[in-house]
Chain A
Amino acid sequence: MSRDSPLIVARDLTKRFQNFTAVDGVSFAVHPAESFGFLGPNGAGKTSTMRMIGCVSPVTGGELRVFGMDPQTHASAIKARLGVVPQQDNLDNEITVRENLLMYARYFDIPRDVAARRADELLEFVQLSERANSEVEPLSGGLKRRLTIARSLINEPEVILLDEPTTGLDPQARHAIWDRLYRLKQRGATLLLTTHYMEEAEQLCDRVVIMDHARIIAEGSPRGLIEQYSTREVLELRVPDDERARLRDLVDGIAERIQELPDRVQVYTADAERALDVVHEAGVDPDSALVRRSTLEDVFLRLTGHALID
Chain B
Amino acid sequence: MTRAFRIVQRNAVVYRRIWRGSLFSSFLQPTLYLMALGFGVGALIDPRRAAIPGSGSYLQFLAPGLLTAACMQVATYESSWPVIGKITWARNYYAMLATPIAIDDLVVGELLWMGIRLTTVGTAFLLVASSFGVMPIAAATLLAVPFAVLTGLAFSAPIMAYAATLKTGEKFNILFRLIITPLFMFSGVFFPIDRLPLPVQWIAKASPLYHGVQLVRGLTVGDSPDAAVALMHVTYLVVLLMAGFVAALYTFRRKLQA
> Which A residues form the contact surface with B (CB < 8 A)?
17, 54, 56-58, 75-77, 79-80, 82, 84, 86, 88-95, 99, 103-104, 106-109, 151, 155
Chain B: how many interface residues by the 8 Å CB criterion?
A: 23
List of A residues within 8 angstroms of B256 by Cβ: 56
List of A residues within 8 angstroms of B2 by Cβ: 109
Which residues 73-97 of B sit at the A interface, judged by CB distance below 8 A? 90-92, 94-97
B14 engages A95 (CB within 8 Å): yes
Q: What are some 19 contacts across the A-B interface (CB < 8 A)?
A: A56-B97, A56-B256, A76-B102, A79-B100, A88-B91, A88-B94, A90-B92, A90-B94, A90-B95, A91-B95, A92-B14, A92-B92, A94-B90, A95-B14, A107-B6, A109-B2, A109-B6, A109-B100, A155-B99
A104 engages B99 (CB within 8 Å): yes
List of B residues within 8 angstroms of A80 by Cβ: 99-100
B173 CB-CB contact with A under 8 Å: no
List of B residues within 8 angstroms of A92 by Cβ: 10, 14, 90, 92, 95
Chain B's closest residue to A91 (CB) is B95
Once bound together, how far apart are the Cα atoms of A92 and B99, in whole Å? Answer: 14
A94 engages B17 (CB within 8 Å): yes
A107 engages B91 (CB within 8 Å): no
B198 CB-CB contact with A under 8 Å: no
Contact among A17, A91, A103, A107 with B258 in the assembled complex (CB-CB below 8 Å): A17
List of B residues within 8 angstroms of A88 by Cβ: 91, 94
A108 engages B99 (CB within 8 Å): yes
B13 engages A79 (CB within 8 Å): no
Measured between C-beta atoms, what is the minimum distance from B164 to chain A in Å? 15
Chain B's closest residue to A103 (CB) is B10
Chain A's closest residue to B10 (CB) is A103
Once bound together, how far apart are the Cα atoms of A80 and B99, in whole Å? Answer: 6
B258 engages A79 (CB within 8 Å): no
List of A residues within 8 angstroms of B95 by Cβ: 86, 90-92, 104, 151
B131 CB-CB contact with A under 8 Å: no
B98 CB-CB contact with A under 8 Å: yes
List of B residues within 8 angstroms of A107 by Cβ: 3, 6, 96, 99-101
Measured between C-beta atoms, what is the minimum distance from A163 to chain B in Å? 11
Measured between C-beta atoms, what is the minimum distance from B193 to chain A in Å? 41
Measured between C-beta atoms, what is the minimum distance from B190 to chain A in Å? 36
B98 engages A84 (CB within 8 Å): yes
> Which B residues form the contact surface with A (CB < 8 A)?
2-3, 6, 9-10, 13-14, 17, 90-92, 94-102, 256-258
List of B residues within 8 angstroms of A89 by Cβ: 91
Once bound together, how far apart are the Cα atoms of A212 and B256, in whole Å? Answer: 25
Measured between C-beta atoms, what is the minimum distance from B148 to chain A in Å? 27
A-B pairs with lowest CB-CB distance, top 4: A90-B91, A107-B99, A84-B98, A76-B100
Measured between C-beta atoms, what is the minimum distance from B84 to chain A in Å? 14
Measured between C-beta atoms, what is the minimum distance from A101 to chain B in Å? 12
Chain A's closest residue to B96 (CB) is A107
Contact among B6, B14, B97 with A106 in the assembled complex (CB-CB below 8 Å): B6
Once bound together, how far apart are the Cα atoms of A77 and B100, in whole Å? Answer: 7
Chain A's closest residue to B7 (CB) is A107
Given contacts A56-B97, A91-B95, 18 further A-B contacts (CB under 8 A): A17-B258, A56-B98, A56-B256, A79-B100, A80-B99, A82-B98, A88-B91, A89-B91, A92-B10, A94-B14, A94-B90, A95-B14, A104-B99, A109-B2, A109-B3, A109-B100, A151-B95, A155-B99
Once bound together, how far apart are the Cα atoms of A108 and B14, in whole Å? Answer: 18
Chain A's closest residue to B5 (CB) is A106
Measured between C-beta atoms, what is the minimum distance from B144 to chain A in Å? 32
Chain A's closest residue to B102 (CB) is A76
Using A94-B14, A106-B6 as known contacts, say yes or no to A86 and B258 having CB atoms under 8 A apart: no
Chain B's closest residue to A154 (CB) is B99
Measured between C-beta atoms, what is the minimum distance from B70 to chain A in Å? 24
List of B residues within 8 angstroms of A94 by Cβ: 14, 17, 90
List of B residues within 8 angstroms of A109 by Cβ: 2-3, 6, 100
Using A57-B257, A57-B258, A109-B2 as known contacts, say yes or no to A75 and B102 having CB atoms under 8 A apart: yes
List of B residues within 8 angstroms of A17 by Cβ: 258
List of A residues within 8 angstroms of B13 by Cβ: 95, 99, 103
B10 engages A106 (CB within 8 Å): yes
Measured between C-beta atoms, what is the minimum distance from A53 to chain B in Å? 11
Max count, chain B CB within 10 A of own CB: residue among A80, A89, A95, A106: A106
List of B residues within 8 angstroms of A108 by Cβ: 99-100
Measured between C-beta atoms, what is the minimum distance from A213 to chain B in Å? 20
Once bound together, how far apart are the Cα atoms of A76 and B13, in whole Å? Answer: 24
Once bound together, how far apart are the Cα atoms of A103 and B11, in whole Å? Answer: 10
List of B residues within 8 angstroms of A75 by Cβ: 102
B258 engages A90 (CB within 8 Å): no
Chain A's closest residue to B11 (CB) is A94
List of B residues within 8 angstroms of A57 by Cβ: 257-258
Measured between C-beta atoms, what is the minimum distance from B249 to chain A in Å? 15
Measured between C-beta atoms, what is the minimum distance from A64 to chain B in Å? 15
